[in-house]
Amino acid sequence: MSSFKIIAAFFAGLGCALLLPFFQKLPAETLSSMALYLLLFLVGVSIGGRRETLQMLRGIRPSLLLLPLMVASGSILAPGLVAALFLPLSFQEGAAVGAGMGYYSLSSILITKISGETLGLIALLSNIFREILALTMTPLLVRYCGRLSGIAAGGATAMDTTLPVIVRFTGKEFAIIAVFSGLVLTLCTPVLVTAILSYGA
Amino acid sequence: MQTVLLFLITGLFAGFMLRRLPRLLHRADQAASLAVYLLLFFLGLAAGLQPEILSAIGPTGFYALILSLAATAGSILLVWPLYPLLFKTQKKSPDQKIR
């Protein structure tokens, strides 16, 4: 039922912003950043207080790079194919949107610069949706689609926004791995988006 | 990003210092669960205040949704086989709560 509660919290916020004038005066961006920092601190405390954490840190090995590699491949290839086959967009455009990995601020700015407003807006919305999907569906995904699915769905956001939810439903022993994967993807996103859109251009 | 890592690392350090106080750590866990809902509410609020959010209703939003579903599904599919490969020895931790 936690998926439902998480979705409800998000849509309560969305509804308040759209319908109630009082909430439109609130600095929502600042508030959400502050809530995120508080949450990351608390997640840090709860991971730092465990004996297993040191073992986990020692467990970081080169083979773990496979995780962000596969997340990136899936995030680029699947939207590319879907765009080419079912949408009035090219493989390249779909792939570039997917390469945003949920990092919507940066990817939408980059894509707007290179490919214009329309694709930039699609990139912004799509990567916001991806973050929302990861936040709200992780409890269900972890249960039915494998233990790593939360980390995969989160993409670049697995190191910050979606980390608390991932830790809670995937298990604390995966916290370091989620941060690692998210960090690698965050660093790769600008490179990948630019590379995909400049290919053949 | 630097701020994100700063808070995370400060928390890790604080948790490490407090590792002999399980009750306090448990409180931090509970607070984190509550803070998740708070964060989601504020994220929804921030999304609702973005002028672009209204374009989510229409073809642009529809394409965006399809692409985000594809990206999520694609990454989950490719990551699936990695679990037995990378974490064969790991057992489910007893303190994993699914509520």
- For chain A, the straight-line distance linking the first and the last C-alpha, in angstroms and rounded, comes to 48
Give me the mean pLDDT over the B17-42 stretch. 82
Checking if the pLDDT of A68 tops 90, the result is yes
Structural Rg of chain B based on CA atoms: 19
Give me the mean pLDDT over the A134-145 stretch. 89
Give the closest-approach CA distance of B31 to chain A in angstroms: 7
- B30 shares a domain with B1: yes
- B75 shares a domain with B45: no
pTM (2 decimals)? 0.79
Give me the mean pLDDT over the A43-52 stretch. 77
The residues near A77 (Cβ < 8 Å, ≥ 6 apart) are A95, A98, B74
Is the residue at B96 inside a domain?
no
pLDDT of residue A25: 76
Is the residue at A48 inside a domain?
no
Is the residue at B2 inside a domain?
yes
Residue contact B78–A70, C-beta within 8 A: yes
The more confidently predicted of residues B47 and A151 is: A151
- B12 shares a domain with B2: yes
Checking if the pLDDT of B56 tops 70, the result is no
Nearest residue to A92 via CA among A195, A191, A5 = A195
**Largest distance between two CA atoms of chain B:** 55
Checking if the pLDDT of B15 tops 70, the result is yes
Is the residue at A39 inside a domain?
no
- CA–CA distances in Å: residue A49 to residues A196, B3, B26: 42, 21, 10
- B63 shares a domain with B45: no
Q: Give the nearest chain A residue to B14 (CA atoms).
A: A45
Is the residue at B12 inside a domain?
yes
The residues near A171 (Cβ < 8 Å, ≥ 6 apart) are A147, B92, B93, B96
Q: What is the pLDDT of residues A167-185, one digit of tens each?
A: 888 988 888 889 889 988 9
Is the residue at B95 inside a domain?
no
A165 confidence band (pLDDT: 50, 70, 90): confident
Token pair 């002028």 is at which residue?
Answer: B51
Give the closest-approach CA distance of A114 to chain B in angstroms: 18
Secondary structure letter of residue A110 according to DSSP: H
Give me the mean pLDDT over the A133-161 stretch. 90
pLDDT of residue A128: 86
- B41 shares a domain with B76: no
pLDDT of residue A86: 93
Give me the mean pLDDT over the B57-64 stretch. 86
Is the residue at B42 inside a domain?
yes
**SS3 state at B52:** helix
Secondary structure letter of residue A61 according to DSSP: -
Domain total of chain B: 2
Give the closest-approach CA distance of A144 to chain B in angstroms: 11
Give the H/E segment covering residue A117: helix A117-144
Q: Give the nearest chain B residue to A34 (CA atoms).
A: B39
Is the residue at A79 inside a domain?
yes
Is the residue at B32 inside a domain?
yes
| Interface-testing mutation among B20, B37, B72, with chain A (most A C-beta atoms within 10 A) | B72
Provide the domain limits for residue B78.
51-89
B98 confidence band (pLDDT: 50, 70, 90): very low
Residue contact B74–A77, C-beta within 8 A: yes
Contacts of A46 in chain B (CB under 8 A): 15, 25, 28-29, 32
Nearest residue to A136 via CA among B36, B71, B97 = B36
Domain total of chain A: 1
C-beta separation of A173 from A90 below 8 A: no
When mean pLDDT is compared over A1-10, B52-61, B73-82, the highest value belongs to B73-82
The residues near A106 (Cβ < 8 Å, ≥ 6 apart) are A100, A189, A190
A80 confidence band (pLDDT: 50, 70, 90): very high
Provide the domain limits for residue A173.
64-199
The two structure tokens encoding residue B97: 């709560």
By the CB < 8 Å criterion, does A133 face chain B?
yes
- B45 shares a domain with B2: yes
pLDDT of residue B96: 44
Contacts of B11 in chain A (CB under 8 A): 40-45, 47-48
- B44 shares a domain with B10: yes
The more confidently predicted of residues B69 and B45 is: B69
Q: Give the nearest chain B residue to A139 (CA atoms).
A: B98
- B72 shares a domain with B32: no
Token pair 């967009």 is at which residue?
Answer: A89
Q: List A residues 46-75 in contact with B (Cβ-Cβ < 8 A).
A: 46-53, 63-64, 66-67, 70-75
| Interface-testing mutation among B39, B78, B98, with chain A (most A C-beta atoms within 10 A) | B39
Is the residue at B94 inside a domain?
no
- B45 shares a domain with B22: yes
